[in-house]
Amino acid sequence: MSATEIDFYELLGVSRDADGGTIKSAYRKLAMKHHPDRNPGCSESEAKFKAISVAYDCLKDPQKRAAYDRYGMEAFQQGMGGGAGQQGFGDIGDIFETIFGQAFGGGAQRGPRRGADLRYDMQVTLEEAFHGKETQVEIEVSKHCEDCHGTGARPGTRARACNLCQGHGKVRAKQGFFVVERPCPNCHGRGEVITDPCRSCRGEGRIDTPQTLDVEIPPGVDTGTRIRLSGKGEAGPQGAPPGDLYIFVHIAPHAIFQREGTTLATRVPISFTQAALGGEIDIPDLAGETVTLSIPAGIQSGKQLRQRGAGMPVLQGRGRGDLVVEIAVETPTKLTKEQRSLLEQFRETETGDECPESRGFFEKLKTVLGA
């Protein structure tokens, strides 16, 4: 939790609509609990005592409280909460740094920060997502300069401490009744400046370089899967550690299968005789094996058959999802004379009981229309 996120009401344990008496009572209880005289030698209690004093001094004053309610901590950063010379607040950066481990104003730190993380989008086929694969990516990324070893200073020289912040990387300024720490504008928080920059990298400490990286795509990846390559991102300035490279996976459309998580789905057309009489169909799966599905007699278009364990692998887990096959009964469009003759003979024997859904529909239609 940063100091900018501290809530004075929460610090005192009161609601935002608490009246002055409630705030005062809450402060007195906490002040008694954390008073240095009751906790001799306890730096944490001392810091908490100072912090609740800061909160109470703000909330007990109607003007300061109104400014805080409207603008939050920003009111005091901009000097809206009161004039210079306010007493009793001390250095709130030091107080909250002791309690929350971070200085007010975002925790400015000395020295350069790690390099930026990079993103690379990779498209893989459904078969590659099923089996996984090892591949390579080519990317241009900044690396530490070999001539200056990432320092940014000309070989044989070194950076000097910043004169403005005395090497601390941050400066303090009084705003309203707070003393606020900010990154040093001269060295940008590094704590040092380079007077004789390296000619190869011009003081950046890094140079853009083409890189070929090995990437392992695990079985079961899906669109949106993110693979992290630690330390393969952009190099940090002035020798700081590099960031990470994130590979974002995208699965290419497949001609046969559609994917939903670990489930594979496909649509299989069968002849009307096979639908009527039943039988079996064989479907090759992505594992290179054959899945045999039993077709029950009388199956209708749209019926789904499920084969457990014939879908996609579970990413970083065990087992596989399911294969779902949607049946589409195909009506023949080309018939021989013999086939047509046989079908006509079949039609002559029909009673309507062979297709109960069709017969039921027309009977219902007559009833509704009164025909």
Angstrom distance (rounded) from CA 6 to CA 100: 9
CB crowding 261-285: b at 16 or more within 10 Å, else e: ebbbbeeeebeeebbeeebebebeb
Q: For the chain, how big is the Rg over CA atoms in Å?
A: 37
Q: Which residues pair with 250 in a beta bridge?
A: 123
pLDDT for the residue 136: 93
Give the pLDDT confidence score for residue 134 in this predicted structure. Answer: 95
3-class secondary-structure state, position 294: strand
Query: Is 355 part of any known ligand binding site?
Result: no
Q: 3-100, what's its fold?
A: Helix Hairpins (1.10.287)
Q: What is the pLDDT of residue 103?
A: 38
CA nearest neighbour of 82 among 177, 148, 12: 177
* β-pair partners for 258: 265
Helix (H, G, I), strand (E, B) or coil at 43: helix
pTM value?
A: 0.59
Query: CB count, 10 Å around CB of 310?
Result: 21
CATH of domain 269-332: 2.60.260.20
Specify the fold of 118-251.
Answer: Chaperone, DNAj Protein; Chain A (2.10.230)
**Domain regions of the chain by residue span:** 3-100, 118-251, 269-332, 334-371
Q: Which residues pair with 270 in a beta bridge?
A: 329
Two tokens at 332?
A: 């023949």
Angle at 81 between CA 77 and CA 87, to 5 degrees: 95
Is the alpha carbon torsion for 345, 351, 353, 356 positive or negative?
positive
198 is in an annotated binding site: yes
Does the annotation flag 165 for ligand binding? yes
CB atoms within 10 A of CB 316: 9
Q: Is the dihedral of CA 130, 132, 133, 138 positive or negative?
A: positive
- Asked if 97 and 104 count as a contact pair (C-beta separation under 8 A), the reply is yes
Token digits of residue 238? 């002035």
**Half-sphere exposure for 267 (CA within 13 Å, toward CB):** 7
pLDDT for 41 equals 72
Beta bridge partners of 324: 265, 306
**What is residue 139's three-state secondary structure?**
strand
How far does the chain reach from its first CA to its final CA, in angstroms? 77
Provide block-wise average pLDDT over 10 residues at a time, the chain (371 residues).
Answer: 61 89 92 83 78 87 82 56 38 46 43 78 96 93 86 86 86 68 81 86 85 94 93 82 92 95 96 93 92 94 95 92 96 92 92 79 77 59
Write the single-letter amino acid at 279.
Answer: G
Whether the Cβ atoms of residue 187 and residue 229 lie closer than 8 Å to each other = no
If you count them, how many residues does the chain have? Answer: 371
Tokens of 359: 């017969």
Which SS3 state, helix, strand or coil, does residue 128 take? helix
Determine if residue 42 is labeled as part of a ligand binding site: no
